Copies of this chain bind each other. A is one copy, B any other.
Amino acid sequence: MVPAMTTQQRPTLITVIGGSAAAPPALDDAYQVGLELARRGAVVVCGGLTGVMEAVCRGAKAGGGVTIGILPGHIPDDANSYVDYPIATGMGYMRNAIVAKAGRAVIAIDGAYGTLSEIGHALGEGATVIGLNTWRMSVDGVEDTAIIRAVSPVDAVDKAMAVAESKQARV
C-alpha cells in the first residue's frame, strides 16, 4: 500500500523571483532566502536561470533543500547548476506567469522587468508578494501597498511561510 499524501504532508512550494543580472547584495539576499527556505523544509520555485534565480537555488541546496526551475527555453540543461528539476516550457518569458503562480507565496528580490511582470501577475491573481529591496509602484502619486515589505532574508522567509501556512490551513 502506498499512502496518499495529504496537503499537510506535501512540501510547501515558495516562489522566489528576481533579476538574472542582479548585483551582489541582492545575490547574497537570495542565497540567504534559499538557505532559510530549505531549513524550513520549503521547496524553492524560480525561473531557473542566473542571478537571483541561481543564488536562491544555491542557498537552498546548501541547506539541503529542493529546487524547481521553470525555464523560458526548450533545453533543460539551460537551468543553473543548482536546479534539481528543470521544467523547459519553450514559451519564453510568458513562463513568468507560471513562476508567479506556482508557490504558495512569492518572495521578490531586486528589480528586473521580468520581476515586475511576475509581481503584476501574482498580485493580479490574489497571491501574496513579500518584497526584499524590490519594486515600489505608485499611480497618481499614491503608493501601492500590496507588497509586504521584509527587512531581511530571514524576515522575508518568516512572512512567506506564515502566508503559506495560513493558506494551507484554510484548504
Contact = CB atoms under 8 A, between A and B. Distances in A.
Secondary structure at chain A's binding surface: helix, strand, loop or mixed?
mixed
Nearest to A45: B87
A136 B77 CA distance: 32
Given A74-B125, A97-B94, A82 B117 contact: no
Contact of A2 (B5, B58, B171): B58
Contact of A124 (B70, B113, B138, B144): B113
A123 B133 contact: no
A159 interface: no
Interface string A147-162: 0000000000000000
B111 A139 contact: yes
A104 B123 CA distance: 27
Contacts of A140: 111, 133
Given A98-B87, A120-B114, A136 B138 contact: yes
A74 B13 CA distance: 14
A117 B129 CA distance: 14
Interface residues on A, range: 35 or more
Contacts of A74: 92, 101, 125
A96 interface: yes
Interface string A43-68: 10100000000000010011000101
Contacts of A112: 124
Given A94-B94, A94-B97, 17 more contacts: A2-B58, A4-B82, A11-B84, A74-B101, A74-B125, A77-B171, A85-B85, A90-B94, A96-B120, A98-B98, A111-B139, A111-B144, A113-B124, A115-B120, A117-B117, A133-B139, A133-B140
